[in-house]
Structure formats: structure tokens, C-alpha cells
Amino acid sequence: MAEFSTRYSFGGDEFIFAELSEEMNLEVNFRGIAITRKLKEKAFPGILDICPSNASYLVRFNPEEIDAHELLAELKQLEREVANLDEIEIRSRLVDVPVLFQDPWTHEAVMRFRDRHQDPESTDLEYAAQINGFTSEEEFIQAMTDTPFIVSMIGFVPGLPFCFQIARQEEQIEVPKYVRPRTFTPERTFGFGGAFSVIYPVQGAGGYQMFGIAATPVFDREQRLPDFRDSMVFPRQGDIFRYRSVTREEYDAVRKRVEAGTFEYRKQEIAFTPYDVLRDPEKFSEMALGRLYSD
């Protein structure tokens, strides 16, 4: 197969779109993170917005302040500068995300929309466990909670984190989306589609498989909680989430702290290179979880 070369496209007078790969994987996502962070650091006059995605990014600029072809040349130079991922350091956060699996709220939605699912006779968890080769839902949940996930992009709706499992690609969990999308998904639903886990920041339509509900928000419009003082959106690209299965009792206790405005995520700062992850994802995951829960 021929090696893929980044496709650059102009969008009107104000946009450049860069497609880094036709395939979504951790290596490509790390390259996109490195390019867009370097672009932000350079603070070229005339750049209005930088929107990184899973395997691409979009730049909005003011053509009266920066020439489109000069900007394109800068983007190509940045791509050359990050060719060696060993030399790139990513600073981000390790975050504990409590999730109640098999909860009553998403289960009600699961049963309401069975006519739109590949397997109307099973639940989303039963179906996903089966097609991924697990013998029980419990084994499947453990596989999702034993390894952390990296936030690969934020988007679709404000605050929604798309997350890749930090595992070898052939070992990553994958599930198809619903055959037809739902018209209702509860707020904070923990969902899965393709190779991505998500947390729905608000109630709305959706097509990802529904496995549980996060006890904590990823979007706080009123910015009541301490973690949202600087932004109404909590996740950042490059964050590493550990989804931790909790009991109904712990879920209720966390919800009380959220409603009282006192909840803060358990988190730790971390710096790593993409090579640390790609060379040995199991060892990196073990290190990351050990650091997250060390006091």
C-alpha cells in the first residue's frame, strides 16, 4: 500500500484543512497534537482558531494578516519538525472518571430504542461483549476499566471527549454504532462507537452503544464546580482518562458532591512522549494508573 501523504485543502479564503491519514490510530493522533500545539505556541498573527481532530486539523485565519500560501508552508514545516515523535513531549492530566455501569437511566434508553439496534434481543453491553470475544459483561467492563484512554479530540457537541484506548490497535475494543440513531441519550452517558469511548455532555440524540453513566459532568455551563473555573468544558485533548467502575452507593455520594458544587476530579499532571505509549502501551498504562492513585 502506498504511503499516505498529508492532504492540505483550502476552504474559502479563511480555512486550511489538513488530513494527516485516512486511518485513525494513536500515532496519527499524537502527530496532530504535536503539530497543532506547536502552531499555537508560535502565535502567528492572523490565526483565529485551531481545531484539532482525530486524524486531521483545521486552521481558521484572517487572509488580510497572513497569506494563505505562507501559512500552508508553515504547516508543512511543522509536520516535518514533528516527524520524530521521540522528541515530542506532551504535558497533560491523568483523570479518574467514576462510571456506574448497567445503570437504570441508560438501560431505560437502551430498551426504548431496540428497534434501531443490530441485535434487538440483547442489551448494548451484551452485544458489545459478545462481538469483542468476552464471555460476560463483567469481563467486558473490566477490559474497559483496566486500561486508560487518551482524549483524542473534543467536539461534535461542546465538551464531548472522544477517547482512544491506550492499547495495541489489535487489542482495542471496537463496536459499531446503532443501525439508526436514537432521538434520546441521557446526559453523561458513557458510550462507545468504533474505537472511541465518549461521555455525552448533555441530553440529546446519539448513535453510540450505551454502557453506563458517568457520575461527574464534562460540561458545566454555569461553571459552578472548581474544575470548571477556567472553562465550561473539562476535557482537554491529550488528557488521559481512567474510567473507574463504581457502585450505586458511590455514584450517589459523588452526585451529592456535584450538586453541592464541591466535587473535584482526582487528577495528576503528567508529561510523556508518544514513543512512551506506542513502544509499550501496557507498561505505560501501568505507570499512569500507579501515578494517578498514588497519594
pLDDT digits (tens, 9 = 90+) for 160-173: 999 999 999 899 99
pLDDT by residue (tens digit) across 185-229? Answer: 999 999 999 999 999 999 999 999 999 999 999 999 999 999 999
**CATH 3.30.1360.40 in the chain, residue ranges:** 7-86
In single-letter form, the type of residue at position 232 comes to M
The verdict on pTM exceeding 0.85 is yes
**CATH 2.40.100.10 in the chain, residue ranges:** 91-293
Q: Please compute, for residue 180, the number of CA atoms within 13 A of its CA located in the half-sphere on the CB side.
A: 6
Mean pLDDT along residues 11-34: 94
| Concatenated DSSP letters of 25-84 | -HHHHHHHHHHHHHHHHHT-TTEEEEEE-SSEEEEEE-TTTS-HHHHHHHHHHHHHHTS-
Quote the pLDDT of residue 279. Answer: 93
In single-letter form, the type of residue at position 78 comes to L
pLDDT of 94 over the 80 cut:
yes
Question: b/e string for 204-214 if b means 16 or more Cβ within 10 A?
Answer: bebbbbbbbbb
pLDDT of 1 over the 90 cut:
no
* Fold assignment, 7-86: Gyrase A; domain 2 (3.30.1360)
Let me know: does 75 contact 39? Beta carbons within 8 Å.
yes
Confidence band (pLDDT; 50, 70, 90) for 157? confident
Percent of the chain at pLDDT above 70? 99
- CATH architecture for the domain at 91-293: Beta Barrel (2.40)
Query: What's the CA gap between 129 and 173, in Å, rounded?
Result: 9
pLDDT by residue (tens digit) across 14-23? Answer: 999 999 999 8
Mean pLDDT along residues 98-106: 97
pLDDT of 112 over the 70 cut:
yes
54: Cβ–Cβ under 8 A, 6 or more apart, which residues? 24, 28, 29, 32, 152, 153, 162, 196
Q: In the 8-state DSSP scheme, what is residue 186?
A: -
Query: What's the CA gap between 166 and 53, in Å, rounded?
Result: 17
Quote the pLDDT of residue 4. Answer: 80
The runs of H, that is alpha helices, within the chain are: 26-42, 68-81, 104-112, 124-131, 137-145, 248-260, 274-279, 281-292
Nearest CA among 295, 238, 293, 209 for reference residue 89? 238
pLDDT of 147 over the 70 cut:
yes
